[in-house]
A and B are shown apart, each in its own frame.
Chain A
Amino acid sequence: DAGVIQSPRHEVTEMGQEVTLRCKPISGHNSLFWYRQTMMRGLELLIYFNNNVPIDDSGMPEDRFSAKMPNASFSTLKIQPSEPRDSAVYFCASSLRPHYEQYFGPGTRLTVT
């Protein structure tokens, strides 16, 4: 299996621009998680889906962040408008079932100037 796929791997944008991060989970996995990692705060859970349905978005920092999962093989995390404090590495992870181990993608390094 190819593992979790994320794109782009790097994104540099200016403050105020819209940013869309993409994730393809491992085939057959029914849980999908979006995380953000920074030096200051470590790895934080933003939102997770089960069977394409958002279960808990309490980790989403602001209304500027939104996530969708239109089907079992694709999810997006959108930031609109972006701000410099959004600069971080964003990871997508998937698991076979909700309580099983999660497998992480390579991450998207976002820099907002």
Chain B
Amino acid sequence: EDQVTQSPEALRLQEGESSSLNCSYTVSGLRGLFWYRQDPGKGPEFLFTLYSAGEEKEKERLKATLTKKESFLHITAPKPEDSATYLCAVQDGTDSWGKLQFGAGTQVVVTP
């Protein structure tokens, strides 16, 4: 069965203090790995899709990378507005319909 594990569960950062979140996965064959951001009381917001090992995507202070067994979301010089829960999800290549398996998320708090 596909599994997605995110670490750490929670992360508290000072503004400007860069860090990384981890998403490790086990799937039969990865079709895609997705990163989402979720603010309290809102639905997950799509950030990135990664398809193959070595691929990288960037958006403002966020950079996502992918290896064969895990993905990292790097937050560079974070600001308080980067506070959110970050979710990763995998899409198994054996599934024909795009089903996503989500991890439990990493809750990030950035203090001024």
Contact = CB atoms under 8 A, between A and B. Distances in A.
B99 A48 contact: yes
A104 B36 CA distance: 10
A45 B92 CA distance: 14
A105 to B, nearest CB: 5
A91 interface: yes
Contact of B100 (A4, A45, A103): A45
Interface stretch (A64-72, A78-86, A92-100): A92-100
B74 interface: no
A48 B100 CA distance: 11
A70 to B, nearest CB: 20
Interface in B28-54: 31-32, 34, 36, 41-46, 49
Contacts of B97: 31, 48, 50, 55-56, 98-99
Contacts of B99: 45, 48, 56
A20 B102 CA distance: 25
Given A102-B100, A103-B46, A106-B43, 15 more contacts: A42-B102, A42-B103, A43-B44, A56-B97, A56-B99, A91-B44, A93-B43, A98-B96, A100-B98, A102-B98, A104-B36, A104-B43, A104-B46, A106-B42, A107-B41
Q: Which 5 A-B pairs have the closest CB atoms?
A: A104-B43, A98-B98, A99-B98, A43-B102, A98-B97
26 contacts: A4-B43, A31-B97, A42-B102, A42-B104, A43-B44, A43-B87, A43-B102, A45-B99, A45-B100, A48-B97, A91-B44, A93-B43, A95-B98, A98-B96, A98-B98, A99-B32, A99-B97, A101-B49, A103-B46, A104-B36, A104-B44, A104-B45, A104-B46, A105-B43, A106-B42, A107-B42
